[in-house]
Amino acid sequence: MDKTRRDFLTAAVTATGAVVTRDLAHAQDHDHGHSHQVVPSDLTLRVKSLESLLVEKGLVDRAALDALIDTYENKVGPRNGAHVVARAWADPAYKQRLLTDADKAIAELGFGGQQGEHMVVVENTPEVHNMVVCTLCSCYPWPVLGLPPVWYKSAPYRSRSVIDPRGVLREFGLELLEDVEVRVWDSTAEVRYLVLPERPADTESLSEDALAALVTRDAMIGVAKIVPRREGGST
């Protein structure tokens, strides 16, 4: 079972944690006189057990779950955002539309929908570096970035990004010059942000698809910069 499926099920379990915990505790109380493990230590088996329990309790429909997982595996995610960024790098007119009306520009590429309404794109330059956080919860542009990473939802990131953004970026391995202004954008249920990273040098000959392959999720959140790939595919 892949990481996307595990992440989705983790979120589902969080939402129904009280029910799952109660039932697992009940099962552990009835060991029938012999030792056994209710939740396997192997992560794959554990997730399968949780999925089966959610389906058995009627909390999740298996077909609906498969459809949702297919959506986040194949229809939304960082690859979509990467294509938005690559198009902006390759097409100045598109870039202007993206910065002016992100919703319409992103929709031109066929992306959009739930959790992606009211997008704002902010551009990194040599003088300004942008990073995105959601200080209240984990508002995040799903259609172009997929599901939020665990660290994005963590309390330390949500609080320290506002208090000490340079320190947070340093922990991600990004050291900015002192004369670079850092702007922190707070996503909400009404507005979600996407960072347009700086285009790496010496990429003028690359196709749009090749440019998209350079773009990372972290760069579109603003905690990393784009590093050109060296020959052989390494970074």
* Catalytic annotation, residues: 134, 137-139
Half-sphere exposure of 93 (CA within 13 A, CB side): 1
- Tokens encoding 45: 């088996």
Give the distance, in angstroms, between the CA of residue 63 and the centroid of all CA atoms in the same chain.
Answer: 24
Listing DSSP states for 30-43 in one string gives: --TTS---SS-SSH
Neighbours of 22 (CB within 10 A): 10
Contact present, 145 and 217 (Cβ < 8 Å): yes
8 A C-beta contact, residue 81 and residue 156: no
Measured CA to CA, the distance from residue 213 to residue 211 in angstroms comes to 5
Could you tell me how far CA 176 lies from the centroid of its own chain? 23
Cα–Cα distance measured from residue 182 to residue 104, given in angstroms and rounded to the nearest whole number: 27
**Contact yes or no for 208/90 (Cβ under 8 A):** yes
H or E element that contains 194:
strand 192-196
Q: Name the one residue in this structure whose structure tokens are 């953004």.
A: 165
CA angle centred on 75, ends 138 and 114, rounded to 5°: 45
